[in-house]
Structure 1
Amino acid sequence: MNLFEKLYDEYEKVKVRFVGFTTKDTRYDFGIVYTNMFFGKPLVICMQTGRSTLLDPKDVENHEYLQRIFRIDTAEQAADLAEFFSDVLPATALYPEYDY
């Protein structure tokens, strides 16, 4: 019995980066999956909470979004996180070469 209509089922070799860092008052641990899926937006996973999102540089500019999705307590912490992501996320949305 066919219960589901398959939308996609792709295999892809991807680059994954694991980064742990601290700011003056918070520790962060993230996994970043660089993929051509999802319009090339990297999949960012908080290793502490399991919360994840697709991010590109434009998304990083929205501190309120970062604060909400990663459950960050203060605007200052969201700004710190935005600064980190602006350094590690590629500037373009499509990443055919994975040269990071």
Structure 2
Amino acid sequence: MAMYERLYDETEQAKVRFVGFISEHGRYDFGIVYTNMFFGKPLVVCMQTGRSSLLAQDDIENLEYLQKLYNLRSIEEAEEVSIFFRNSLPALTLEMEAESS
């Protein structure tokens, strides 16, 4: 049996939000897990593709990254998703980052 070193094994009550919306470019369904783990970054799961990522503000602003990450068809779709995330995900503050350290 291979030896391994456990990095973490935490249990927490997390807030989960499911949101779906439609625009002129498509339909989007996301599960958003708000947690104290991972420096306060929410875990965002695309319910259509199953792709997930921890998202920070700089990720939200990077349209090419969002397009590739969630398999979006165009930069216009990435812009719509970016706008949604900017309005829906909490911005990390220095206090939050310090508390997570």
SS at match of 1:28: strand
TM-score by length of 2: 0.87
| Distance in 2 separating the partners of 1:55 and 1:30 | 13
Residues matched between the structures, number: 95
1:25-44 aligned at under 5 Å gives the runs 25-44=25-44
Name the amino acid aligned to 2:51: R
Displacement over 4 Å in runs of 4+: none
Equivalent residue, structure 1, for 2:62: 62
**RMSD of equivalent CA atoms:** 1.6
Name the amino acid aligned to 2:88: V
Equivalent residue, structure 1, for 2:10: 10
What fraction of aligned residue pairs are identical, expressed as a percent?
A: 58
Q: Is the contact between residue 45 and residue 52 of structure 2 (CA under 8 Å) also seen in structure 1?
A: yes
SS at match of 1:81: helix
Structure richer in helix, relative to its length: 2
Equivalent residue, structure 2, for 1:98: none
SS at match of 2:79: helix
Name the amino acid aligned to 1:78: A
1:50 aligned to 2:50?
A: yes
Structure 2 residue runs of 5 or longer lacking an equivalent are none
